[in-house]
């Protein structure tokens, strides 16, 4: 009897980044996505180690879309020896030229900056995960395929792509392997998504892998017109305060949706004619890709909505720095979770201003700077400097490119009946658990799995998946909020806490006691190592 196909989760299990699945059969393996882990430093460290598979032995990569948490380790894969095709839609290939190159530049720049920091003097230097040249080499391996047309990525594997309604070019991936039918959702877009048609796909699968980013959240159903009213109110309030409106935004899709709505509000005189700075070279390049597809996109009326005279696309670093001296402007910058890029520069210059506003319009994963700010931190640490949070912190949920719980449940129902198992991935703990509870309330017999990173499952037609390898405990410890987030919270509040102690003598005593606690942990560790050696 031939061996069953297997599915191994290498990322985006019990976390929302690092998407990567390996399907293996008949001595061949293919990957669905090869994404970068984003969030806390402990999570980002996962990008630097070896893959849990040999890149040279992967036959093909099937890519759901261009977001870095799904595509961002493709350059590393290629640098480690992968020479095969990267199958994706044509718009995804067009976007990847810029997305991957930018990711490579960020890797190089962040590594150089971290190595220069004074608090790292004398330590071993970091190496970038990959370079810009690695990224461009990976992009050249893209092989565009049309939606809904079967192709053979490797012997024994059939595949076709379906519109996922998430971002430009996004797709769900249907696979047939030795009689086993599987579909991987990729990221699913919400109903009435700007630019994109609603998600599509066939029904009747053995296995379904579905994302669960918003598995614990049901959003109010908001039309594009209603969303624009919400944005109008936030812009008017921010400009009335006199400071800047700073919007951390993803360079891909979120930036273009905001520009679509700002174009409408400006053209209809619903908001003051203030300058809008898009301070992200990557966002500016991806906007150019959207402009090329503008006649095919919904909600544009067939015109290029990105040419409003109030829109100023900033590329030069010096021009970006000059924005430090302005007030009363809208500044959009990447990254959307505030983990890298020029947004950190603008937060450092605006968070302490009571007249400024920071507006979040996207998901903030656990451990990210954006999540820390959104959760109400009084101070944050940006590039080694403490910054007080005095600005107005606001949020609009209706720009999400992800389906909420009700929309995910509807997508899963449309893929049914599911004869084997439903895997829930790309979600944090609460989202995964709430999705599972709701699914099993509706369909008690459905076999629902919450895979861990490192787990492998045998896939047998019509039967529940059988786990054949357990998860990676070391990786599990890196998920979510880590000790460095807690350290940043502690250190930024330490001066204030010590200041509440009126006596200088008592402050000194508190410092000495904290030092003794740290030394006791070091001593305990050394004792354990000593006893272990004997």
List of domains in the chain? 6-218+401-478 (3.60.15.10), 224-395 (3.40.50.10890)
Burial of 111 (0-12, 13-18, 19+ CB in 10 A): middle
> What integer pLDDT is reported at residue 412 of this predicted model?
98
Phi (first) and psi of residue 448, to 5 degrees: -110, 125
pTM, two decimal places:
0.84
Q: Are 153 and 85 in contact (CB under 8 A)?
A: yes
Rounded to whole angstroms, the Cα distance separating 484 from 492 reads 12
> What integer pLDDT is reported at residue 211 of this predicted model?
98
Phi (first) and psi of residue 381, to 5 degrees: -110, 120
Give DSSP secondary structure letters for 16-40: SS---EEEEETTEEEEE--PPP-SS
> What integer pLDDT is reported at residue 498 of this predicted model?
79
Rounded to whole angstroms, the Cα distance separating 16 from 11 reads 9
Query: In the numeric block, which tokens belong to residue 176?
Result: 């047939």
3-state class (DSSP) for residue 88: strand
> What integer pLDDT is reported at residue 338 of this predicted model?
92
Residues 6+ apart with CB under 8 A from 230: 222, 396, 398
> What integer pLDDT is reported at residue 340 of this predicted model?
82
Phi (first) and psi of residue 358, to 5 degrees: -115, 120
Cα-trace Rg, the chain: 24
Rounded to whole angstroms, the Cα distance separating 387 from 381 reads 6
Rounded to whole angstroms, the Cα distance separating 80 from 94 reads 24
Alpha helices in 368-503 (DSSP H): 369-374, 405-415, 429-442, 473-478, 483-499
Q: Are 230 and 222 in contact (CB under 8 A)?
A: yes
> What integer pLDDT is reported at residue 120 of this predicted model?
59
Q: What is the sign of the dihedral through the CA atoms of 197, 201, 203 and 206?
A: negative
> What integer pLDDT is reported at residue 493 of this predicted model?
64
Provide the residue-wise pLDDT of the chain in tens; the chain has 534 residues.
Answer: 468 999 999 999 999 999 999 999 999 999 999 999 987 777 888 999 999 999 999 999 999 999 999 999 999 999 999 999 999 999 999 999 999 999 999 899 888 887 876 555 667 888 899 999 999 999 999 999 999 999 999 999 999 999 999 999 999 999 999 999 999 999 999 988 999 999 999 999 999 999 999 999 998 888 999 999 999 999 999 999 999 999 999 999 999 999 999 999 999 999 999 999 999 999 999 999 999 999 889 899 888 999 999 999 999 999 999 999 999 999 999 989 998 889 999 999 999 999 999 999 988 887 889 999 999 999 999 988 999 999 999 999 888 889 999 999 999 999 999 999 999 999 999 999 999 999 999 999 999 999 999 999 999 999 999 999 998 766 666 565 555 555 555 665 676 677 778 888 888 888 888 888 887 876 655 565 555 555
Pairing assessment for the beta strands 447-449 and 276-279 based on DSSP bridges? unpaired
Beta strands in 390-508 (DSSP E): 392-395, 418-425, 447-449, 456-458, 466-469
Q: Are 425 and 185 in contact (CB under 8 A)?
A: no
> What integer pLDDT is reported at residue 1 of this predicted model?
43
Residue 495: how many CB atoms within 10 A of its CB?
10
């Amino acid at each position: 009897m031939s061996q069953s196909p297997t599915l191994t989760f290498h990322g985006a299990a019990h976390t929302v980044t690092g998407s990567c699945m390996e399907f293996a059969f008949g001595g061949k393996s293919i990957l669905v996505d090869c994404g970068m882990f984003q969030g806390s430093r402990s999570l980002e460290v996962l990008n630097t180690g070896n893959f849990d598979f040999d890149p040279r032995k992967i036959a093909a990569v099937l890519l759901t879309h261009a977001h870095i948490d799904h595509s961002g380790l493709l350059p590393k894969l290629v640098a480690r020896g992968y020479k095969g095709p990267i199958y994706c839609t044509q718009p995804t290939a067009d976007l990847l030229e810029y997305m991957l190159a930018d990711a490579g530049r960020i890797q190089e720049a962040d590594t150089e900056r971290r190595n220069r920091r004074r608090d790292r003097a004398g330590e071993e230097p970091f190496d970038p995960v990959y370079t810009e040249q690695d990224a461009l080499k990976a992009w050249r391996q893209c092989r565009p395929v049309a939606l809904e047309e079967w192709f053979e990525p490797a012997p024994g594997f059939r595949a076709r792509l379906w519109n996922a309604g998430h971002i430009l070019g996004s797709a769900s991936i249907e696979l047939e392997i030795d009689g086993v039918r599987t579909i991987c959702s990729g990221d699913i877009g919400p109903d009435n998504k700007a630019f994109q048609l609603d998600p599509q796909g066939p029904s009747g699968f053995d296995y379904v892998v579905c994302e669960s980013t918003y598995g614990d959240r049901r959003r109010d159903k908001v039309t594009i017109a209603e969303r624009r009213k919400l944005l109008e109110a936030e812009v008017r309030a921010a400009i009335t305060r006199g400071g800047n409106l700073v919007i951390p935004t993803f360079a891909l899709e979120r930036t273009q949706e905001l520009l679509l709505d700002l174009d409408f509000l400006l053209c209809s005189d619903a908001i003051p004619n203030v300058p809008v700075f898009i301070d992200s070279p990557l966002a500016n390049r991806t906007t150019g890709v959207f402009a090329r597809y503008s006649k095919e996109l919904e909600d544009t009326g067939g015109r290029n909505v990105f040419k409003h005279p109030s829109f100023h696309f900033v590329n030069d670093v010096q021009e970006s720095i000059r924005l430090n001296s302005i007030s009363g402007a809208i500044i959009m910058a990447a990254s959307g979770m505030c983990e890298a890029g020029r947004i950190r520069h603008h937060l450092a210059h605006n968070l302490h201003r009571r007249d400024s506003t920071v507006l979040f319009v996207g998901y903030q994963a656990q451990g990210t700077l954006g999540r820390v700010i959104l959760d109400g931190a009084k101070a944050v640490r940006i590039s080694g400097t403490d910054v007080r949070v005095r600005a107005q912190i606001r949020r609009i949920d209706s720009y999400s490119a992800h389906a909420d719980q009700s929309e995910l449940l509807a997508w899963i129902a449309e893929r049914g009946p599911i004869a084997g198992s439903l895997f829930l991935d790309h979600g944090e703990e609460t989202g995964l658990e709430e999705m599972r509870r709701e699914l099993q309330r509706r369909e008690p017999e459905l076999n629902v799995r919450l895979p861990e990173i490192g787990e492998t499952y045998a896939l047998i037609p019509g039967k529940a998946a059988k786990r054949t390898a357990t998860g990676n405990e070391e990786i599990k410890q890196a998920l979510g909020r880590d000790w460095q987030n807690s350290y940043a919270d502690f250190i930024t509040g330490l001066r204030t806490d010590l200041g509440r102690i009126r006596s200088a003598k008592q402050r000194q005593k508190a410092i000495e006691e904290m030092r003794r606690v740290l030394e006791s942990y070091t001593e305990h560790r050394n004792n354990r190592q000593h006893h272990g050696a004997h």
